[in-house]
Structure 1
Amino acid sequence: MNFHGTEVRQKALALLRGGARNAEVARKFSVPPGTIAYWKHLDRAKRGECPGKHDPKCPRCDGRDLDTAAYTYLLGLYLGDGHISRYSEHRVPNLMITCDESWPGLMDACEQAMRKVFPDNAVCRVRKTGCRNVKVYSKHLHCMFPQHGPGKKHERHIALEPWQQAIVDAHPWEFIRGLIHSDGCRITNWTTRLVAGERKRYEYPRYFFSNKSDDIRRLFTDTLDKVGVEWTTLARGSDPFNISIARKASVALMDTHVGPKH
């Protein structure tokens, strides 16, 4: 019988917690896949992350305390790149936020928000090509995200419930940051000007938010209005999918409260 030391086990668990697949870890350390699965199960059980084994309380159903700032950020991520799925009627639903691997800080912020909003539920990362899906399992996802429904978000009506709007009004910048981190970016534009007969190049920062849903773009711009950020709509072809923030004072506000992805 082969025995595997604590060091190998801890290295394997570190990779598993980071989203690596069982088979990948098994090949890397020459450990049977069944052993890797068992280690993962024990580790998740120890941390209370075995979905379906208990029924954590819900802020909406049971009045549990809610970290409203974390929820507002997570709501922004969900409206941009989030999806709630259930593979079968017997499985616990999961909220999945797709994060590009170019932004590890975003993945960390997403996972941290999930753990604050759902402190007693399973959270994990699943590796995909070029990205990772950060997921949380909960039977109460539909309570917390009533915008969920059949079809794509831009093909159906999206509106916040009064209790959600009250939370967004209390934490507008967290909502804006979540939307920018999901469907937005900060870039550097450039232009040229003629100065004393000589053409010079000038660079300036700019924020963009792009989403096909008229409702989600309106939620974004309404919140920008409340915090004093000026914005314009840029049409791509005949569809006004892009919101631009380019004025110096507004960009400075965004840099203070949002900043670039990392």
Structure 2
Amino acid sequence: MNAHGTEVRQKALTLLRNGARNADVARQLNIPAGTIGKWLHLDRSRRGECPGRKPPKCPRCDDRPLDHVAYAYLLGLYLGDGCISTSRRDVHFLRIACADAWPGLIDACAEAVHAVSPGNKVSRVQSQGCQYVTSHSKHWPCLFPQHGPGKKHERLIALEPWQQEIVDAQPWEFIRGLIHSDGCRITNWATRLVAGERKRYEYPRYFFTNLSGDIIRLFTTTLDHVGVEWRQANLRNISIARKASVALMDTHVGPKH
């Protein structure tokens, strides 16, 4: 809470930016010198003017190198269980929900966020049954242009050409991110009549579930790209059950852990 009010603070910053000394501004506005110094430091920090400190660069705005492997995985996680929110200071918060049941997934998510945006802190916020892997940056919407108002399944979700190039080059990481967010590997069972006797047999299967038809199409198109056979069980469920395709998924994705 700003006890002095936004108008007073802005007046102080205007005087400081015009070269006034901290002590003079403090006397003129009857505000403690320590408060004036803090305001000046925060203002310089937001504008990247602190000595020895530069604001993190953006792969899209500043042409900073981007870890394509980590990004393809994180893109899958974001499309499944991620969101971006914006603070009053125009800082964007990326949040990926990861179930407590899969600690390995939580670690992998945090590593991917750090690799994609190494200049920003990555935090884990505990919630009921899950942890939110979070990080703040002004540039998350640059990296995830699918961000927008409303739920993902109620609006168009399409990849930008530069994103599609990354997915084409790293299809398994994208698939892995989608499965780790909205998919699973389960053991199915069925019965079969053999020599007059009904016997039970089990087989592994992957499922992917999402309410967005656009995200399902991104998933299935990428499966086609890597030669995985799939079947649409219903409007929001994709099943992968053929032995060769499950073996491919086991090699490149595997169950959550």
Q: Using structure 1 for the length normalisation, give the TM-score.
A: 0.77
Structure 2 partner of 1:261: 256
How far apart are 1:89 and its partner, in Å? 2.0
Structure 1 partner of 2:71: 71
How far apart are 1:91 and its partner, in Å? 5.3
Contact 2:104 2:256 in 1 (8 A): yes
Partner SS state of residue 115, structure 1: helix
Structure 2 partner of 1:14: none
Gaps spanning 5+ residues in structure 2: where?
1-44, 49-53
- For residues 197 and 221 of structure 2, what CA distance do their matches in structure 1 show? 42
Q: What code does the residue aligned with 1:128 have?
A: S
Structure 2 partner of 1:220: 219
Structure 2 partner of 1:166: 165
Per-residue CA distance 1:164-222 (angstroms, 9 max, x = gap): 00000000000000000000000000001111222111000000000010100000000
Structure 2 partner of 1:252: 247
Partner SS state of residue 233, structure 1: strand
- For residues 129 and 222 of structure 2, what CA distance do their matches in structure 1 show? 31
Q: What code does the residue aligned with 1:129 have?
A: Q
Q: What code does the residue aligned with 1:169 have?
A: D
How far apart are 1:116 and its partner, in Å? 0.4
Q: Using structure 2 for the length normalisation, give the TM-score.
A: 0.79
Structure 1 partner of 2:228: 229
- For residues 140 and 121 of structure 1, what CA distance do their matches in structure 2 show? 11
- For residues 208 and 95 of structure 1, what CA distance do their matches in structure 2 show? 26
Does residue 133 of structure 1 match 2:163?
no
Partner SS state of residue 97, structure 1: strand
1:235-246 equivalences under 5 Å are: 235=234, 240-246=235-241
Partner SS state of residue 62, structure 2: coil
Structure 2 partner of 1:90: 89
- For residues 205 and 92 of structure 1, what CA distance do their matches in structure 2 show? 44
Structure 2 partner of 1:39: none
1:19-98 equivalences under 5 Å are: 55-86=55-86, 88-90=87-89, 92-98=91-97
Identity within the alignment, %: 71
Structure 2 partner of 1:186: 185
Structure 1 partner of 2:6: none
Does residue 111 of structure 1 match 2:110?
yes
Gaps spanning 5+ residues in structure 1: where?
1-50
